[in-house]
Amino acid sequence: MKLKKKKVNLWKMLWPSLVEILRRKEKMRKNKILLLFLGLTFFASTFYFSINTFPDKSARVNYLFMEDTDISKQNLSVTEASLQELSIGDDDAPITIIEYASMTCSHCADFHTETYPVLKENYIEKGDVKFIFREFPLDKLSMATSMLARCVDNSISLAFIDILFQNRNKWYSDNAIAELKNLSKQAGLSSEDFERCLNDQELLDQLIIQKENAIKEFQINSTPSFIINGKVISGNKPYSYFESEIDKILDAYKGI
């Protein structure tokens, strides 16, 4: 007996697979559209919040304006610096040390937390050294903190600068405005004073000019930089370095 061969309908066999493939492709297409939509939504929301949220909106304009402290790019309201000198020590001391520092500079913070206290105890308080602090802001946040240090009572400006350096890790962050506002409050600045300070165009201009004067007079281009009786010293140095430099001058002064 001869068996009949069944005709195989390949189309019928393949149809379910083709349907499944098409179904998966359609699902993938929809997923891509969904992901694209979500991506665009996320980008739009991120962009919106990046330009519309700020820890303190009243301080936002000038805080962002401080991006560039190049005198050539500013319309200054003053022509020369008349800032009160921030100094400590005997005016008649045989040695004068001028420091140029940026408040966000980590090496400046190291100097103020490690070297300066010993220098103050051994030489400044004994009348051998007069120490002068001058701002040399390298960025907008450094400019903001420099302005705040000028807005507190002048009698505590240097102490406030030391506090800022000691707490640098707190305010040198994404939460800068809130942290600086808190530290300023402890130094006697109200919220209104804080906002007024960061909107003080004349103070901003004075600090810019002081920086430019340092560049022209001493060729300062980095922080910290020190001037010891006219000698320019770049970079943070250990206490032993300052001790050696000071003692050499004192020996010559005393005729030793």
Write down the domain spans for the chain.
13-53, 63-254
Of residues 105 and 16, more confidently modeled: 105
Q: In what order do the strands lie in the sheet with 225-228?
A: 86-88, 129-135, 95-101, 225-228, 231-234
Superfamily of domain 63-254: Glutaredoxin (3.40.30.10)
What's the pLDDT tens digit per position in 167-188? 999 999 999 999 999 999 999 9
Listed in sequence order, the DSSP H helices in the chain are 10-52, 60-65, 106-110, 116-119, 140-151, 157-166, 168-171, 176-186, 191-198, 201-218, 239-254
Between strands 86-88 and 231-234, the pairing is: unpaired
Q: What is the pLDDT of residue 42?
A: 46
Q: Taking the model in full, what pTM does it have? A: 0.72
**Contact criterion met (CB below 8 Å) for 163 and 189:** no
Q: How confident is the model at residue 81 (pLDDT cuts 50, 70, 90)?
A: low
Mean pLDDT computed over 150-166: 96
pLDDT > 70 fraction of the chain, expressed in percent and rounded: 68
Task: Extract the tokens encoding 126.
Answer: 């004994």
Q: What is the pLDDT of residue 143?
A: 96
What's the pLDDT tens digit per position in 35-77? 554 454 444 444 333 333 333 333 343 444 444 445 444 566 5
